[in-house]
Every structure is written in structure tokens, then in C-alpha cells.
Amino acid sequence: MVVDDHPMWREGVARDLTDQGFDVVATADTVASAAARAGAARPDVVLMDMHLPDGSGADATARVLAAHPAARVLVLSASDERDDVLDAIKAGATGYLVKSAQQSELIEAVRSTADGQPVFTPGLAGLVLGEYRRMSQSPEPDAPVLTDRETEVLRHVAKGMSSRQIATRLQISPRTVENHVGASLRKLQLGNRVELARYAIEHGLDAE
């Protein structure tokens, strides 16, 4: 799915992708339409602009992933500003490419994103990794405290394990796992398991 409020750019990118064998299942030009069409069309990859008439690309990314959590969002923006990049990644985007990229770079980036690989314009990857490192080493002073068991469950959530797999690993019941997940969601004020996994990854729990 291609999300951009400039018709010529949106249609040109969609056409280029189609020419390369991709199936463009939808296009959108606003945050609201992106969320609605992602839920209906269920795209594997979403190409996302950062500046839309009714909100930011970060807002749209969050709403697209809420509607279709399995989607992978690759930002394609004219902006390489630090705040735009970090806002997009924190909202759930898996990569960030500036619009000055060559067509071949874009096509390869879409393929890599579909395969689950993060893709960044040179220079931006270091920015994102540095921010994640800072976040994991310098927790917010008012960050909620999770119990040891909640942290242990969260670590496995970050690795993509299901409740049943976590239960088997920790030798507890799936219901107990869900209770710990629910408690963590409440403490961290997060909306769902996808956001919980993202929080864990951002704080380095998946590497422990």
C-alpha cells in the first residue's frame, strides 16, 4: 500500500512497484484513509509519507499497525529530520528512506522490508541505533517498575513467542502468562501486545 498526499508521486510509485511485480492492493492520502484501507486490504508492506493533511506519518503508522499489526511500514519521506525519523520508528515503522533514493534502492528496500529486514537511508541507521541504546541505558526516572516475572515474560514477548510457548518455557499456565502480559500493559499504559513487544525491544529486553 502506498500512502502519500501528492497524487503524481503516489501514482508514480505505485506504477513503479507494479512494473516490478508487486501487487499494490491500495493507496491512501490521509491518516484516516490509510488506517481504514490497511484494515481492509491487509498489505504486507506500507510505504508511508511523513506529512499528511490530517496528521503525521507517525500517527498514520500507529493507526495502520493498530488496524493490521502484521504490516511492515517503510517510511518514504522528503524529510530526514531527526525527530521525524525517531517518531516514525517509535510508532512502529521498520525502515526509513528519503525520497532522493534511486528507484532501484526503493525497490530493493521494499523487498527487504517484506522480508522483515530494517532499511534506512545511509546515516539514519546510526541515529536510530544510538537512540535505542540511549533509551535502554537511561530509563526514564518515572518509568513503572515491573516484577521479575513480568520482566521475564516481557523478554519472551519481545522474541515473538506466543503465550503458550512462553508458558511451556517458564513452566506456568498460559492464563498466568496472559495475566502478566495484562499487568505489564496496564503499568506501561500500552494498548496491545504489539506495542508491548516494541517497548521491550526498544529497552533491549530481546537481547537478554
Per-residue pLDDT of the chain (208 residues; tens, 9 = 90+): 999 999 999 999 999 999 999 999 999 999 999 999 999 999 999 999 999 999 999 999 999 999 999 999 999 999 888 888 888 888 888 889 999 889 999 999 999 999 888 888 877 766 665 655 555 454 555 556 788 888 889 888 887 788 899 999 999 999 999 999 888 888 888 878 778 888 887 777 765 5
Class assignment of domain 148-207? Answer: mainly alpha
Cα separation, 74 vs 1, whole angstroms: 10
Same fold, 2-135 and 148-207: no
Distance CA 5, CA 77 (A): 11
Spell out the domain ranges in the chain: 2-135, 148-207
CATH fold label, 2-135: Rossmann fold (3.40.50)
Provide the β-strand partners of residue 119.
95
C-alpha to C-alpha distance for 29 and 90, rounded to whole angstroms: 22
pTM summary value: 0.63
